[in-house]
Amino acid sequence: MVERVLLAEPRGFCAGVEMAIKSLTWMVNIFEPPVYCYHEIVHNQAVVAAFERAGVIFVDDITEVPEGSPVMLSAHGSAPEIVAEASQRAAVMVDAVCPLVTKVHHEVKLMAKKDYDIIYVGHEGHDEAVGAVAEAPGAVTLIDPDQGLGSFQPKDPGRVALLAQTTLGMHEWEGVLDDAAVRYPELITARRSDLCYATTNRQTAIRQLAQEADTILVVGSKNSSNTQALVRVGRKEGTPSYRVDGPEDIKPEWLEGSRVVGVTAGASAPDQRVREVIAAINPTQGDSPLALTDEDEYFPLPPMLRQFVKILQTVVEAAFAVRKPNLPGPIEMDPEHSATGALDLLGV
């Protein structure tokens, strides 16, 4: 019988995912369905299913978007040619790329322009890695963190840059970094790393959780890179750790003999699923937070969407003579709203 659930804080939605989910919610509220989205808006089954019910069609090929349709590009960042094609086809194109992914795209372009050989540490086929590598395919070598540098050979060992997918496990990134720093003493890399604040905070929290829990459940989908990284970090710390999309995935034998169960969630997993998982565990003494740090990052809605909503607001105010000067409009009010609230309305 599980006595207690320890709930990691921070867990779940990061600022990039908040922004992306709220952006797509705006799109389905503004436009008649279908609204198209290139790639899953975030890598989570429940979120994708909720938007499909609301009239979103997810595509992996941008040419499937009919000319003149509204389209959104996912939070993971898209290749430049996809952005160009989407802008051409769509009536309205909103790129919901996370600003921290955009930062890595800029680094790729900058280093390629300076004629560096770029090692990009990431997972082959992952949307974020595909988008980043596409910024300068001739200059970038994708290295899987499990494989390491292997036979990588730069043109000039004095001009090598090391960049990374934002959602890797810290230990995976550090493994490649240590090796590269020895091989290439003049290695250029991001000041701390490209791993984002949400990735590092959630991994630090699960390390702490692993000290106090007998078993850990990580809520998130199979194709969520940061969720999978959390599972690996929990296991590396020696605590049995399992990924679940929701309560339906929990195997009773995982919890046998566990008094304290740790629960956390990947950056794209809705809190609604976390609450359902806790309810299914049904701890006799309830749940309590294991708080490590506060997160107050906020990423504004994409510029194109902000502009579009402002125009709509102006038109509606003019038509109905409801303009009240100096009152905040929906864009100014955005920080007050959460993606969790938006998903509640969509029935997650």
**Site residues (CB under 6 A) for ligand SF4?**
14-17, 75, 98, 100-101, 166-167, 196, 198-199, 226, 267
CB of 143 to ligand SF4, least distance (A): 19
Q: Give the active site residue among 107, 128, 135, 172.
A: 128
**With respect to ligand SF4, which residue has the nearer C-beta, 17 or 216?**
17
**With respect to ligand SF4, which residue has the nearer C-beta, 120 or 184?**
120
| Cα gap 107→314, rounded to integer Å | 38
Q: CB nearest ligand SF4: which residue?
A: 16
Mark whether 3 is an active-site residue: no
Say if residues 261 and 283 touch (Cβ distance below 8 Å): yes
CB of 220 to ligand SF4, least distance (A): 11
**What is the phi/psi pair of residue 294, to 5°?**
-90, 145
**With respect to ligand SF4, which residue has the nearer C-beta, 117 or 128?**
128
Q: How far is CA 203 from CA 2, 196, 211, 281, in A?
A: 24, 11, 13, 23
CB of 169 to ligand SF4, least distance (A): 13
Residue 55 DSSP class:
T
| Cα gap 34→44, rounded to integer Å | 20
* Cβ neighbourhood burial of 123 (10 Å; 0-12, 13-18, 19+): buried
| Cα gap 124→139, rounded to integer Å | 16
Of 156, 161, 163, 153, which is closest to residue 187 (Cα–Cα)? Answer: 161
**With respect to ligand SF4, which residue has the nearer C-beta, 143 or 168?**
168
Residue 263 DSSP class:
E
CB of 75 to ligand SF4, least distance (A): 5
Q: Which residues does the annotation mark as catalytic?
A: 128
